Amino acid sequence: MFRSRAKEEKAPADKAQVTGSMQPRDPQAPKGRPTPKRSEAQTQRRSVASTPVSRKDAAKRQREDRRQALDRQRRALAGGDERFLPARDKGPVRKFARDWVDSRINVAEFFLPLAIVILVLSVVRVPSIQSIALLLWLIVIVLIVVDSAFSGYRLRGRLAEKFPDANRRGAVMYGLMRSLQMRRLRLPKPQAKRGERP
């Protein structure tokens, strides 16, 4: 009695094995998709493991992501890596404007050192020195305005010549604002040397 039931159960299993071995096995049949690469599988595991479970974890992760993005951006500003620069510094037009400004000597970049000297002179309680300080203020401001107007005119012409079809909106003002900063304090760091034609 027990033997006949065992034979009956064994027979269908043998038939299934025989029919399975007769057909060619499809390599994608068990899963229906190819095996992922190890790096992809690790990334998926990491993303599943790192999904935040609470609002506090989500905020912490968001802060960490923002910190990493800012760190990448800071390194890009120091090294000039175009991929991670802020939107205002990206693109060939902005890069050309930066290089053009960095290759020149601008009066405006000496404004801070000159302003300190003039302030020191204006503090001295000698009327003749104070009047010299006031005159120096006027000369420096006039020189900066004239140099900026001349630079803006020339930069606009060079941009139109080099990028006739590109969007040049705001590039001249971007270059002029850069010229107001001292060379060593400019970000992204200057890539062009003085006197070098960009």
Query: In this structure, what token pair is assigned to residue 134?
Result: 């006031």
Determine the pLDDT at residue 4.
52
* pLDDT by residue, tens only, the chain of 198 residues: 555 554 545 544 444 444 444 555 555 555 666 777 887 777 776 665 555 568 888 888 899 988 988 888 888 777 777 777 888 888 999 999 999 999 999 999 999 999 999 999 999 889 999 999 999 999 999 999 999 999 999 999 999 999 999 999 999 999 999 999 999 899 889 988 888 887
**Whole-number Å distance between alpha carbons of 152 and 58:** 47
| DSSP run (H or E) holding 56 | helix 55-79
Q: To the nearest 10°, the Cα dihedral for 188, 190, 196, 198? A: 0
Closest CA to 170 of 185, 159, 154: 159
**Whole-number Å distance between alpha carbons of 26 and 102:** 64
Q: 3-state class of 140 per DSSP?
A: helix
Determine the pLDDT at residue 142.
96
Quick check: 73 and 86 in contact, CB under 8 A?
Answer: yes
Determine the pLDDT at residue 139.
95
Q: What is this structure's pTM?
A: 0.64
DSSP per-residue string spanning 92-104: HHHHHHHHHHHTS
